[in-house]
């Protein structure tokens, strides 16, 4: 559809009479718009950001692995009031680490979130295509508006030249007595009106150039003009109903709306799934070490290692 719109616009552009070599044609203006249009740039950035929805959603179905470790140095002192007094002082390190892993086996909410993310990514492709089509329409409209504004200036200048000649003739006729002052004033009023129209036409051209500049990022120097050689072909099939049916199935705005409906439906299912139980495969291993020495009436020391490994299935059932 994007190529079709561009082909129609370029066909109209190529049918025109050629302007000077330095003039920009519609294709060049469109290329500048592809590189500089802020609306399309925003759509591209949004599309790129949306592509990350699937990896983020898929992460909810992937295993998680964690490591926790700690190291401590303990200093214990105790005095026992007996005769003779007994003192106990111990210093011992404690080292411990735990590696744990979890693999979701059944998480309906996360599975639906992944399906929802895929819908969002698919919708982002349609939104980007719609922005590209919109750019073609906006570029073509802005291009035609500038050409029309320049034509209006040329038309106003031609009218101004004719009215100026009528004003000069009215003044000469008044000087020789063949016309009244009313005729002269009427010619002057028409001339002033044309001058005002010329000012308005030039202001309109400035506005249209500013609108085109906002799309392509710079003021165009000269635009290629159009002639009367463009002969568009009739659509095939040349009937309304087939095009209406095609629009219902392929129109980008309709497809975007349908995607919004599908995403909203999945959101309802995802919220319901928050009340479903979850099943995870869990495993962990814990390794510990402790050792030390004691300072008492009888010196002693001790150390030990410990290890605990676990694997199992964990069920979580939301109750309220």
Q: What pLDDT digit, counting tens, does each position of 58-87 carry?
A: 999 999 999 999 998 888 788 887 777 777
13-19 contacts at long range (C-beta below 8 A, 24 or more positions apart): 13/224, 13/226, 15/226, 15/227, 15/229, 15/230, 15/231, 16/224, 16/225, 16/226, 16/227, 16/229, 16/230, 17/225, 17/226, 17/227, 18/224, 19/222, 19/223, 19/224, 19/225
Domain with 119 in it: 2-227+246-316
Residues comprising the chain, all counted: 320
Residue 236 lies in a domain: no
Provide the pLDDT for residue 24: 81
Rounded to whole angstroms, the Cα distance separating 206 from 219 reads 10
Give the N- to C-terminal CA distance of the chain in Å, as an integer. Answer: 51
Rounded to whole angstroms, the Cα distance separating 236 from 290 reads 85
DSSP H helix total and E strand total for the chain: 8, 4
Rounded to whole angstroms, the Cα distance separating 149 from 193 reads 18
Provide the pLDDT for residue 294: 54
Residue whose entry in the numeric block shows the structure tokens 């111990």: 90
Provide the pLDDT for residue 101: 97
Residue 84 lies in a domain: yes
Residue 240 lies in a domain: no
Residue 197 lies in a domain: yes
Q: For residue 242, what are the contacts with CB-CB under 8 A and spacing of at least 6?
A: none
Residue 263 lies in a domain: yes
Residue 233 lies in a domain: no
Total domain count, the chain: 1
Residue 241 lies in a domain: no
Q: Which residues of the chain have pLDDT under 70?
A: 1-22, 227, 230, 292-302
- Of 55, 57, 37, the C-alpha closest to 45 is 37
Q: What is the CATH number of the domain that holds 290?
A: 1.20.1600.10
pLDDT tens for each residue of 210-257: 999 999 998 887 888 876 776 778 888 888 999 888 888 889 999 999
Provide the pLDDT for residue 171: 86
Q: Encode 43-70: b = buried (16+ Cβ within 10 Å), e = exposed.
A: beeebeebeebbeebeeeeeeeeeeeee
Residue 238 lies in a domain: no
| Global pTM value | 0.74
Provide the pLDDT for residue 4: 55
Question: From edge to edge, which strands make up the β-sheet containing 86-106?
Answer: 64-80, 86-106, 278-295, 300-316
């Amino acid at each position: 559809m994007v190529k079709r719109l561009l082909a129609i616009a370029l066909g109209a552009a190529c049918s025109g009479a050629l302007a000077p070599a330095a003039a920009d044609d519609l294709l060049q203006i469109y290329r500048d718009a592809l590189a500089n249009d802020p609306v399309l740039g925003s759509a591209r950035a949004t599309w790129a950001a949306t592509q990350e929805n699937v990896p983020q959603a898929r992460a909810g179905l992937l295993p998680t692995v964690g490591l926790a470790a700690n190291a401590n140095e303990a200093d214990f002192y105790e005095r026992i009031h007996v005769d003779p007094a007994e003192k106990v002082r111990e210093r011992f390190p404690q080292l411990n680490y735990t590696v744990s892993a979890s693999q979701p086996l059944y998480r309906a909410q996360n599975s639906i979130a992944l399906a929802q993310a895929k819908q969002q990514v698919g919708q982002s492709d349609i939104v980007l295509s719609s922005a590209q089509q919109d750019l073609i329409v906006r570029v073509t409209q802005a291009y035609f508006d500038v050409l029309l504004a320049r034509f209006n200036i040329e038309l106003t200048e031609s009218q101004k030249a004719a009215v100026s000649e009528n004003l000069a003739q009215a003044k000469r006729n008044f000087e020789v007595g063949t016309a009244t002052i009313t005729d002269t004033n009427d010619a002057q009023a028409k001339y002033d009106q044309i001058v005002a129209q010329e000012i308005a036409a030039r202001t309109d051209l400035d506005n249209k150039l500013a609108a085109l500049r906002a799309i392509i990022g710079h003021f165009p120097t000269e635009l290629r003009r159009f002639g009367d050689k463009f002969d568009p072909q009739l659509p095939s099939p040349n009937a309304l109903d087939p095009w209406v049916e095609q629009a219902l199935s392929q129109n980008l705005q309709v497809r975007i709306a349908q995607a919004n409906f599908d995403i909203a439906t999945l959101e309802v299912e995802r919220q319901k799934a928050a009340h479903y139980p979850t099943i995870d495969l869990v495993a962990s291993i814990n390794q510990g070490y402790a050792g030390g020495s004691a300072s008492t009436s009888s010196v002693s020391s001790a150390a030990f290692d410990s290890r605990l490994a676990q694997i199992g299935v964990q069920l979580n059932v939301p109750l309220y």
